[in-house]
Amino acid sequence: MGYKTVIDLQEHREPLLAILHAVVRDPNLSRDGLLRVLKAYPKDGRGLFSKNELIQAYREFAGTDGLPPFDPGVVERLRMKPVRTMSGVTPVTVLTKPFPCPGECIFCPNDIRMPKSYLSNEPGAQRAEQNGFDPYLQTYSRLRALYETGHPTDKIEIIILGGTWSFYPENYQIWFVKRIFDALHDFGSGIDRTAEVEAALRGGSQFHPDRERPAAAVDGTRLEHTYNQVVQAVYREEMRRSREEAQAIAHGERPRGPLDEFATWEELEAAHRENESAACRCVGLVVETRPDHISADEVLRVRRLGATKVQIGFQSLSDEVLRLNRRGHTVEATRRAVRLLRLAGFKIHAHWMPNLYGSSPEADVADYRRMFTDPDFRPDELKIYPCSLIDSAELMQYYADGRWRPYTHDELLDVLVACFHHTPEYCRLTRVVRDIPSTDIVAGDLTTNFRQVVDEALRQRGERSPDIRAREIRRVRVTPDQLHLDEQQYASSIGDEIFLQFITSDRRIAGFLRLSLPREAPLVDELDGAAMIREVHVYGQALSLGEGAPGKPQHMGLGRQLIERAANIAAGAGYRRLAVISSVGTRAYYRMRGFYDGALYQFRDL
């Protein structure tokens, strides 16, 4: 399965089997109970076996020496950080390489070791740098780590972060996505080409982790050179090599190597077809970009890459705040971008920033409310990133002369409590406060668990956040008779949205579907006369393909019921067909539900 054993299992067979027998005997074994068992059977007579070692041992020894056949429930009890896959899929985040950015935002970090806006000390950024920003290595190493810690690796959501995706060359984009799919297929087939890629990276890339890190840096207090200027100077040779090698390959002048940033659309589409029945399937592909880089052509190009969701930086819905922060676009650009993405069926994952220069706590709360009262916005998911002061950002100058200050803890708490209160049930707050190490923050609140702080403040008021993430069913066991279908309708910039959700009596959510009923002309002819399923999602711990478990929402038939209800609603509204913006790895699922393939979407006649 493409993983490396951490220890010699046979050498430690006796204590490992004793531990596994104890785990199998007691399905309710607590964390403290497991710790007592581990201490009773130490590793090498002194240390403790790690959870990933126990998981590997269980996979190896299940069905032998008196152990029952393999049971996924045992792995679940041993799993490290189960919350990672509690939302029904296994996320894998990869970063693009350092590259110029079209933005000049004064709040944005300028770490030249990273793509724009990211910091080398962030966990995901560290993993990317350790793998030389190579998409194959990043994907493969993450899959291996997840597998070794007990997480399923067959339903993967790929999240591509880094700068402005739409500003990278098309050759690089196609190659980057194709290499992600190559890693999925190799890992699922038990093939490991990481040594080959690592060797090529060591011999031919400035990004190899053993290379000396760039000494140049951007000082936000003086800003003698911009991020783009420094990046282009530091990585000039790397950019030249990438460009020339891609051109040479395109003209057939030399063979291709694992690092050559070139692939054709036909090669990517072949990888897509292979992934439809692969052991590791891509059930979601996410890219991030700016509103002013969204056009009809760009939307369709991103869709052709296989993307189903776009992260897009709203930052603020005030033209004055955008201007003061040199964001580089207006609110009208955000309206237009959201409209185009909706027409193409994308899930819209917005970023929004309180405490920007020129704003205030009162203005931020009003801005947030506007995001959900104005039909032109209303994102499906949202990251709330309060502005933090980073030493490489130009905002340092505004802080030094008193033009900007960070909110106090109480001010920020009041803003976020109001934001949570005004979040509708159809939106998922995926992150509150960015995962920036405190050592990188010059000024601003250092609370890392601000979401829990806000939840506690709401609890004291007798409230709970209505957003999806706060209501996910997670570990709660449910039966079909404990769920009922709830439907909410709201206006969007292109028509109407129907949010269908299976919920419990206390509104815990087990699954949902987003149905778009557009009234505008579509972006492509194949969508003519079609309603659009933009997302189907069933919550609970991610299960492997075909795996069921009593009381768990996944594979309980909720997705099928949601689709049938959506088809009835669309037919009743006069649509001839029902389209779905399916991921590559979910195409087979939709075919089983009566959908057939189009060029960019799948369809079902009504």
pLDDT digits (tens, 9 = 90+) for 469-479: 999 987 778 88
User: Residue 572 — φ and ψ, nearest 5°?
Assistant: -65, -25
Residues 53, 11: Cα–Cα separation, whole Å: 13
Name which of 51-55, 157-161, 399-403, 593-597 the model is least confident about.
Answer: 51-55
pLDDT confidence of residue 3: 41
% of the chain with per-residue pLDDT over 70: 95
Is 385 within 8 Å of 433 (Cβ atoms)?
yes
How far is Cα of residue 601 from the mean position of the Cα atoms in its chain? 21
- Domains of the chain (ranges, CATH numbers): 13-80 (no CATH), 94-289 (no CATH), 307-329+347-471 (3.30.750), 472-605 (3.40.630.30)
Is residue 544 over pLDDT 50? no
Question: At 437, is the pLDDT very low, low, confident or very high (cuts 50, 70, 90)?
Answer: confident
Is residue 281 over pLDDT 80? yes
Is residue 87 over pLDDT 70? no
Residue range 5-18: mean pLDDT, rounded: 80
pLDDT confidence of residue 1: 32
pLDDT confidence of residue 214: 82
pLDDT tens by residue, 185-207 = 999 999 999 999 999 999 889 99
pLDDT tens by residue, 363-377 = 999 999 999 999 999
pLDDT confidence of residue 551: 46
Name which of 443-447, 527-531, 592-596 the model is least confident about.
Answer: 443-447
% of the chain with per-residue pLDDT over 90: 68
DSSP string, 229-246: HHHHHHTHHHHHHHHHHH
Residues 462, 82: Cα–Cα separation, whole Å: 28
Residues 604, 532: Cα–Cα separation, whole Å: 10
Mean pLDDT of the chain: 90
Q: What's the N-to-C CA distance of the chain in angstroms?
A: 42
- C-alpha distances (whole Å) from 324 to each of 106, 191, 225, 320 are 9, 52, 20, 6
586 burial type by CB count under 10 A (0-12 exposed, 13-18 middle, 19+ buried):
buried
pLDDT confidence of residue 83: 52
Residue range 509-516: mean pLDDT, rounded: 97
**Among 505, 487, 511, CA closest to 497:** 487
Residue range 300-316: mean pLDDT, rounded: 98
Residues 1, 190: Cα–Cα separation, whole Å: 4
Question: At 45, is the pLDDT very low, low, confident or very high (cuts 50, 70, 90)?
Answer: confident
**Among 341, 330, 355, 256, CA closest to 303:** 341
pLDDT confidence of residue 356: 98
**Residue 513: HSE in the Cβ half-sphere, 13 Å Cα cutoff:** 28
Residues 389, 314: Cα–Cα separation, whole Å: 19
Question: At 82, is the pLDDT very low, low, confident or very high (cuts 50, 70, 90)?
Answer: low
